[in-house]
């Protein structure tokens, strides 16, 4: 009977102030009378605090949390939130956040605290800068100038013809150097592009004859990840994704369980990154997408099959 009264969902509603006074009271009685339910309720509270601190609450839940938890609880009880924040910072060990160029620009253009610098003046500075960048710089650099990378290649002298035991020519492209500095006088073959390749997958299984749209081209040994965009109709706050290999005969074989899905703003497309080392050519794979329900349980959302070439 107790389980009917109190479960994860009810516990969340308890802390968010979404229960009627009668239901609220019943839970208080239950938790006071039974240490296990008391702990259960505390654990639900801790989870909710975590979700608040990690920005995992929906906007409605966030509002309720701020209204019913942060405002109504005594100061001592609210300290849990501060501790959770400190814990998040500790575990994430976030580097110092540097504002992006766009953010800095936005801040600068809205700098209304200085009345002597009106927005129009700023705008004209930007326009003048753009004109200089577009017309004057190419003229100064001459007709042969191009993007920085090309310019660098032009300045780089051809590698010496002398053979070296450490720079023997190889058919396979070299792995990218961990150091960002490339010395111009070294015989370094061109680096492969670092951009990940993407493929959009829709839910479901492959048709019998194969489906070109769901075939994913992979390059063995390519240093960049393969991005799979999973189209979904079901929206969840968070997702888990598992990569499975589907043998011709037999059960699916789990390859990797810790793909980190990221969802698009509208929640319709989930992006997962797969290391090419996990995949082999001419195989069928499946990504099992699971969503985190309101009660914290995982629910299967969709399966996405694809073949590698």
Partner 1 sequence: MELTPENFDLLLSWLHPDPEEAGRRYVKIRAGLVRNFARQSVPVPEELADIAIDRVAQKLPEIIDNWEGEPERYFYRVAYWVLREYWTRTIITEELDPDAQIPTEKKDNRKEIRSYCLNQCMACLNPKQRDLIEEYYGGERGTRIRRRKELAGRLNIEMSALRVKALRIRKCLKKCTKDCIAKLDQSNY
Contact set with partner 1 (CB under 8 A)? 25, 28-29, 31-35, 38-40, 42-43, 46-47, 50, 54, 56, 74, 76-77, 79-80, 82-83, 85-92, 238-240, 257-258, 260-262, 292, 296, 298
- C-beta of 56 vs 211, nearer to partner 1: 56
Q: How far is the CB of 292 from partner 1 (least distance, A)?
A: 6
Q: How far is the CB of 169 from partner 1 (least distance, A)?
A: 41
- C-beta of 199 vs 241, nearer to partner 1: 241
Q: How far is the CB of 242 from partner 1 (least distance, A)?
A: 8
Q: How far is the CB of 87 from partner 1 (least distance, A)?
A: 6
Gap between the Cα atoms of 152 and 147, Å rounded: 9
Gap between the Cα atoms of 182 and 153, Å rounded: 11
Q: How far is the CB of 77 from partner 1 (least distance, A)?
A: 6
Taking CA atoms, 249 is separated from 167, 210, 284, in Å, by 47, 17, 12
Gap between the Cα atoms of 203 and 241, Å rounded: 13
Gap between the Cα atoms of 180 and 184, Å rounded: 12
- C-beta of 47 vs 211, nearer to partner 1: 47
């Amino acid at each position: 009977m107790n389980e009917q009264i109190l479960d994860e969902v009810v516990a969340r509603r308890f802390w968010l102030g979404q229960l009627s006074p009668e239901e609220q009271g019943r839970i208080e009685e239950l938790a006071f009378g039974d240490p296990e339910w008391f702990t259960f309720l505390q654990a639900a509270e801790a989870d909710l605090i975590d979700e608040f601190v990690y920005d995992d609450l929906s906007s409605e839940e966030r509002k309720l949390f701020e209204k019913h938890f942060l405002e109504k609880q005594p100061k001592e009880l609210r300290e849990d939130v501060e501790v959770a924040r400190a814990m998040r910072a500790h575990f994430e060990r976030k580097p110092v956040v540097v504002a992006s160029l766009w953010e800095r620009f936005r801040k600068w253009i809205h700098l209304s605290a200085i009345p002597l610098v009106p927005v129009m003046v700023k705008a004209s500075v930007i326009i003048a800068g753009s004109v200089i960048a577009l017309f004057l710089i190419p003229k100064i650099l001459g007709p042969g100038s191009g993007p920085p990378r090309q310019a660098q290649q032009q300045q780089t002298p051809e590698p010496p013809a002398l053979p070296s035991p450490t720079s023997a020519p190889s058919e396979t492209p070299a792995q990218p150097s961990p150091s960002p500095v490339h010395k111009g006088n070294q015989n370094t073959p061109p680096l492969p592009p670092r951009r990940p390749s993407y493929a959009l997958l829709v839910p479901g299984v492959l048709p019998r004859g194969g489906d070109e749209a769901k075939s994913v081209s992979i390059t063995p040994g390519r240093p960049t990840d393969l991005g799979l965009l999973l189209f979904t109709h079901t929206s969840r706050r968070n997702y888990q994704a598992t990569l499975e290999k589907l043998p011709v005969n037999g059960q699916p074989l789990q390859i990797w369980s810790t793909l980190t899905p990221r969802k698009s703003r509208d929640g319709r497309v989930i992006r997962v990154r797969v290391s090419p080392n996990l995949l082999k050519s001419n195989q069928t794979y499946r990504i099992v997408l699971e969503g985190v329900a309101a009660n914290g349980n995982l629910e299967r959302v969709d399966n996405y099959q694809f073949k590698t070439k």
